[in-house]
Amino acid sequence: MSTVRTRIAPSPTGDPHVGTAYIALFNYCFAKQHGGEFILRIEDTDQLRSTRESEQQIFDALRWLGIEWNEGPDVGGPHGPYRQSERGQIYQRYVQQLVDAGHAFPCFCTAEELEQMRAEQQARGETPRYDGRALLLSADEVQRRLAAGEPHVIRMKVPSEGVCIVPDLLRGDVEIPWDRMDMQVLMKADGLPTYFLANVVDDHLMGITHVLRGEEWLPSAPKLIKLYEYFGWEQPKLCYMPLLRNPDKSKLSKRKNPTSVTFYERMGFLPEAMLNYLGRMGWSMPDEREKFSLADMVEHFDLSRVSLGGPIFDIEKLSWLNGQWLRELPVEQFAERARQWAFNNDYLMRIAPHVQGRVETFSQIAPLAGFFFQGGVQPDPALFAHKKLNADQVRQMMQWILWKLEALRTWEKDRITACIQQVAEALGLKLRDAMPLMFAAITGQANSVSVLDAMEILGPDLTRYRLRQALELLGGVSKRENKEWEKLFAAL
């Protein structure tokens, strides 16, 4: 039997998501339990949204958790490159193979044509989909248009009837009707592959034997299966993991729960507790014990103990588990781990320059700058009373600033300042008019060290968390307000 090889294939388009860590953990455990290998591949074909910063954050977050990979963009390996953006030629070659074999075809439709097709289908009460019109073109015409360099995409053919059987390791055979599948674009007009093509080609070339991925990918599985068939490749074993959910059962989203691994790091959770908790999502140890290490999980891992009910990611439960871990550390370890978290020289050296000029004794440091060592803060709601804005406008301003900061990718004081200034000016105010609100939300106090510096030092996760908390404290944002403000915000 060939070696088990699994992978995590994140798209580096934002903060490192706990869902990525969860899927990585299960792939890791599965591989290690079988004495196999775990690979990290970066799926960065979306050039607009992918960034190197986000990629680095994914590496850091997984390493912080203690998940290491045998092959990947930063560690190399025999099947590289491990970044899809560096594999362009490979996809070109394989898509051509599909076209030559008649499994895929060029489509010259313009955006307007597709839009019209869609509108007409909707008017007839049909599900919008590509109608296959390019298949009616004669071979000569296709050749002529290709030779003339007309912009085109490559689409795959899909059966129009029958069902596709998706063999899922958790659910058994899942039947999905072919008429739900569109003639998926495999290669875009700019010559870049879509997820479907790149994912199948890479899993094959990288020798992946088992794919554990999130359940949200199950509905599109037939397209992947068809591609394996067209290429004549053996399909890896498939496993669709249950999605993490908010306590209200909706899909885990950052509106309701912080979803970035780095947030949990900054809040002072232990990586081993975090991993333990992610392992508890939909899986349990044979003896049902709550607290277990990564090594325990690898040793006892078994897909038959994964349950399909959507596991709920609940910060309170995570905190409880973290408490178990913390209390069981030898006290020297406890002190050492706390030191590593925020009582370390680097962090103190970032804070010291802002504190030194404002104290007369060391004993004044904690009251002035204690918020640097907190997760949330508890500002007095009275601190949000504003000279020029009413209570609703205050919330609107804070929400806008939060949205701006959520989109900010480079976390530097100047950029943070620019975000706040832009919002203030959009509301006919000055930067300084926004400052008292920021002070209250971020430091929890009426005054302290410079709040813009404090935001930079605290980092994006805690800054955004505190702004969200302040909004909650002020009564939250209704659905209607959210919609209204979003519209106005988009026009900024």
Q: Which residues are catalytic?
A: 254
Q: Applying CB under 6 A, which of residues 4, 9, 21, 244 lies at the interface with ligand GLU?
A: 9
Contact by Cβ (8 Å): 47, 232? no
Binding part of the chain for ligand GLU, among 8-16, 46-54, 168-176, 433-441 by CB under 6 A, reads: 8-16
Interaction between residue 199 and ligand GLU (CB under 6 A): yes
- State the minimum distance, in angstroms, from the CB of residue 324 to ligand GLU: 31
SS3 380: coil
| Residue 300 CB, nearest approach to ligand GLU (Å) | 24
CB of 15 to ligand GLU, least distance (A): 13
Q: What are phi and psi of 177, to 5 degrees?
A: -65, 140
In sequence order, the 6+-apart residues with CB closer than 8 A to the CB of 104 are 95, 98, 154, 155, 156, 157, 186, 230
Q: Which of residues 43-72 bind ligand GLU (CB under 6 A)?
A: 43
Q: How far is CA 307 from CA 275, 276, 282, in A?
A: 18, 16, 5
Q: Is 32 annotated as a binding residue?
A: no
Instruction: From 9-17, 28-36, 175-183, 398-406, give the range in contact with ligand GLU by CB under 6 A.
Output: 9-17
Q: Rank residues 10 and 222 by Cβ distance to ligand GLU and give the closer one.
A: 10
Give the Cα separation of 76 and 59 in Å (integer). 13
Q: Within 13 Å and on the Cβ side, how many CA atoms surround 139?
A: 3
Write the DSSP assignment of 440-480 as a string of letters.
HHHHSSSS-S-HHHHHHHHHHHHHHHHHHHHHHHTT---HH
Per rule CB under 6 A, is residue 152 in the interface with ligand GLU? no
Under a CB-based contact definition with an 8 Å cutoff, are residues 230 and 101 in contact? yes
**Segment interacting with ligand GLU (CB under 6 A) among 7-15, 153-161, 257-265, 320-328:** 7-15
* By the rule CB under 6 A, 6 interacts with ligand GLU: no
Question: Which residue in 260, 247, 219 sits closest to 64, CA to CA?
Answer: 260
Pick from 213, 223, 226, 464: which binds ligand GLU (CB under 6 A)?
Answer: 213
Query: Residue 217 or 341: which CB sits closer to ligand GLU?
Result: 217
Q: Which is nearer to ligand GLU, 43 or 55 (CB)?
A: 43
- What is the SS3 assignment for 194? coil
Out of 5, 6, 10, 22, the residue judged to bind ligand GLU by CB under 6 A: 10
Structural contact between residues 215 and 232, judged by C-beta atoms closer than 8 angstroms: no
In the three-class reduction of DSSP (H, G, I as helix; E, B as strand; rest coil), residue 249 is classed as coil
Residue number, 243 or 270, with CB nearest to ligand GLU: 243
Q: How far is the CB of 191 from ligand GLU (least distance, A)?
A: 19
Q: Binding site for ATP: which residues? A: 254
The footprint of ligand GLU (CB under 6 A) covers 9-11, 43, 199, 213, 217
